[in-house]
Structure 1
Amino acid sequence: MTELKAPDIYVALRELTASLVQLKADMATGQAQLKAEVDKQKQQLQVRQVAFSASLLAGGQLATTGPFPKDTTLIYKNIITNIGNAYNPNTGVFTAPLKGAYHFEWTVGARGDNGAHSSAAGLVKNSEHIFMAWDEQETKHFGTASNGVTLLLEVGDVVFLRLVANTMADDNAYHLTTFSGNLLFPM
């Protein structure tokens, strides 16, 4: 049996120490890379979480918007949900943060004024009219019209609602005039 000489043990210990130092450095690098990847995945998940829901007015007494002589963008001020902040309550415009399939729904409140004015809100994608919700109350009762659509949007596409020229939208504490949307899935 051969015995290790003292100098050989020191060489082996130095090599073992160097290996341990390298292993510790590799582990720290690996942990940093793993943390960076987890943070990136969390950020991507947050970007993929897009949903909003708003009503025209914050509440209170009945208020009528319109009629206006031309189509007018509706600005929904009472924000219930705005996950992802893609809906802008200052402009009334939703801007797609990523390419995907989005679903939108809206209602427009109508209060009868003996047929003088209808209530109508049309959904617009960029500058293209998509769908309309329209109601006309002949009596002094309330009604609502609603519609919905699923759209394929590219990053930066905008979606908003326009009150049709010479129509009105009514809202009150029951939130009769609403606009909602959400990302169904990214593409």
Structure 2
Amino acid sequence: MKISVSFTLWLLLGSVSPSECTDYQKSFPQDIYAALREMTASLVRLKADVTTLQREFLQTQEQAAQQKTEVDKLKQQQIVQQVAFSASLVPKDQRATTGPFPSLTTLIYKHVVTNIGNVYNSNTGVFTAPVKGAYNFEWWVGAFGDNSHGSGAWLVKNSDLLFMNFEQQADGFMSSSKGMTLLLDVGDVVFIRLQTNTVVFDDGGHHTTFSGFLLFPM
């Protein structure tokens, strides 16, 4: 193969006159250099175009992400402005007296009637604020008086005991209630703790309850 190619090349060169050969040798490198320069310029332009397209694509993605974030924020604002819950201590087909306990005990309200925004946890008895705002809470306690144990409970914000309702009598059914408005930050928790050495009663009449709702976000 090498001998055949060399022979063919020799024939071609032999058919070209010395002057033509010289002219060819002069023009051939120039044509290649010109072509290389043009190719290089084209590659530079192509690279610049690709860079521009990449930049525009990234900007489009960022704008789309920002728009999605804004839409999600608006949806979240609409959701968190709808917050309300109401629960009683035991289901309607049960009746139970809770307490007395030697220390403050968190009441877990199992019968959830309303839980808009899924803000109340019936496994822990804890309400968690989904948005900063003003919230209103109400809690009721009831029990049968026996002249030895009263009925009372604290509203607790995070770890702070705030307001307590309390009632005690010798006999008959006793109940008490209280309400409170709180300014809460996102993630603040609110729950009810049974006062030490007191009792609460609940049945299908739902005498011991805990309710709350968002007045307005801030």
**1:11 corresponds to which residue?**
none
* Separation in structure 2 between the aligned mates of residue 40 and residue 61 of structure 1, nearest angstrom: 42
Structure 1 residues without counterparts, runs of 5 or longer:
1-32
What residue in structure 2 maps to residue 119 of structure 1?
Answer: 151
Residue in structure 2 matched with residue 74 of structure 1 by the alignment: 107
1:43 lines up with 2:76 in the alignment = yes
Report Cα offsets for 1:130-159 as digits up to 9, x if no partner.
1011011211x1121000000000111111
Structure with higher helix content: 2
| Alignment equivalent of 1:142, drawn from 173, 182, 189 | 173
Matches within 5 A, 1:1-187: 40-113=73-146, 115-139=147-171, 141-187=172-218
Q: Confirm or deny: 8 A CA contact 1:76 1:92 kept in the other structure.
A: yes
For the aligned residue pairs, the C-alpha RMSD in angstroms reads 2.1
Structure number with bigger Rg: 2
Partners of 1:183 and 1:61 in 2: how far apart?
30
Q: Residue by residue, what CA displacement relative to the aligned partner does 1:41-67 show, whole Å, maximum 9, x if unpaired?
A: 333201221100000011235310011
The structure with the greater share of residues assigned to strand is 1
Find runs of 4+ consecutive structure 1 residues off by over 3 angstroms: 33-40
- In the alignment, which residue of structure 2 is the partner of 1:14? none
Q: Which amino acid aligns with 1:100?
A: G
Identity %: 65
Q: Give the Cα–Cα distance (whole angstroms) in 2 for the partners of residues 174 and 47 of structure 1.
A: 31
TM-score norm. by structure 1 comes to 0.77
SS, match of residue 187 in structure 2: coil
Normalised TM-score (structure 2): 0.66
**CA distance in 1 between partners of 2:113 and 2:72 (Å):** 28
CA contact (8 A) 1:110 1:137 kept: no
1:52-101 CA deviation, whole Å, 9 max, x = no partner?
00000112353100111110000000000001111110000111111000
The one of the two structures with greater contact order (alpha-carbon pairs below 8 A, sep at least 6) is 1
